[in-house]
Amino acid sequence: MKYFFPDSQDTVDPSFDFEKETRSIERVRHRDDQYAHEVFSEPAFDGLLVSKGIVDGYGNTGSRYTLAQRHRLYREGVRSFFRVDNRNLSIMGDCGAFTYVREPEPPYTVEQVIDFYVECGFDHGISVDHVIFNYQPKWDTAGFFEDVEAADARRRQEITLSLAAEFMAYHRKHKLAFEPMGAAQGWSPRSYAHSVLELQKIGYEYIALGGMVALKTKDILACLRAMSEIRHPKTRLHLLGVTRTDHLEDFANLGVWSFDSTSPLRQAFKDDKDNYYSPERTYTAIRIPQVNANPALMKRISSGQVSQDQAKKLERLALEAIKQYDSGAWELEKALDALVEYDNFCDPRKDMREIYREVLTEQPWKHCGCDVCCKLGYHVILFRGAERNRRRGFHNVWVFYRRVQDRIDRLAAKQADSVGR
């Protein structure tokens, strides 16, 4: 099973000095900053997923790319742009249907999307689709068209299938190099199975399942089981935005060949507690916010609730505390006192002492062999600034990929053992 890492232009600056918190004045972001695959000496994923909606932007969803970056992507192609020419990474493209989900119809034509795939040199390209966010198996029963939302879901599915047929016809007519992938949308096991059946009739052998991000695992499995009844043995499935690693064996047995997700990256700085991955569990990152860069703290300072001088003093002490503890110069309780004092100063509603005690006692970064942890040391566990937070996210992706590989290896061994018997 292959893991594709979705692009959102997340990079890190290799010149950043974590002690001084400065960077090279000669740094040019698009030239010098590194993507996740450049940070690691070993693979952290099998491929990249790049969305037209992320590149070009649409409506209220602005592009993650500057105008110069967009021009360079179209001019150089995805492999050169992401500097993966010498790496064994596949690159998949999609429309980014989430950017136009509120529109009555997709804003892109089939030809526009195919031009994007061809000009940029993708390995796989997903047909134009229209997301269905509702999961309502009851809509399969009588009275379907009496419900406005149900009728809209059916309309979106019909649009998606019609565009998939047009997409395949264009691909065949022009004998294009990238592998076409059909997009399947549905609102129930039965409707997803219908989509897959129709896409197979069109000629697709690789099908991307959209609209499943918010579904419960049991509902995803129900849909996959329904698809398995009509799925051809050679048909491969891709789960868009879905991980659920606890069920990889079930997914694999039901035809899932690949998936994508940004969850490991995002949890590093979006989650309240699960910020740092280890092979067995997750840890909470230690919060040491920057006085001059944390909006909530700056607001309290400007309103006179807290003293800026006191904030800076406690911030420096907290940074010194974890540095001295990591080196063995300070005892655990002394370091905790300094960290918790600053934490309470910033957010008196929470008591993080026992959580931080666990993190500092186990020091998981010292047991990790990834390039990020080996280079950063304790800085990787600090919830502080984009350079640390994003690198922790890259670390999570690296660990997540190894979790996936471990489960796949165990599944393969299990299958080999059953064949041997």
Please list the active-site residues. 94, 260
Can you read off the two tokens belonging to residue 91?
């690159």
Distances (CA, A) of 55 to 9, 298, 372: 9, 33, 27
Q: What string of DSSP letters covers 126-179?
A: EPP--------GGGGSTTGGGSHHHHHHHHHHHHHHHHHHHHHHHHHHHT-SSE
Rounded to whole angstroms, the Cα distance separating 252 from 248 reads 6
What is the distance of C-alpha 69 from the center of its chain? 21
What is the distance of C-alpha 14 from the center of its chain? 22
Q: What string of DSSP letters covers 12-60?
A: B-TT-BTTTTB--TT--HHHH-B-HHHH-SS-S-SEEEEEHHHHH-BTT
Pairing of strands 47-51, 2-6: parallel
The dihedral built from the CA positions of residue 12, 16, 21 and 24, taken in this order, carries a sign that is negative
Rounded to whole angstroms, the Cα distance separating 169 from 161 reads 12
Can you read off the two tokens belonging to residue 289?
């916010």
Q: Radius of gyration of the chain from Cα atoms?
A: 24
Rounded to whole angstroms, the Cα distance separating 115 from 69 reads 18
What is the distance of C-alpha 359 from the center of its chain? 25
Rounded to whole angstroms, the Cα distance separating 239 from 313 reads 48
**Adjacent-strand bridge partners of 125:** 93, 180
Q: Which of 202, 219, 359, 335 is nearest to 275 (CA)?
A: 359
DSSP, collapsed to helix, strand or coil, labels residue 420 as: helix
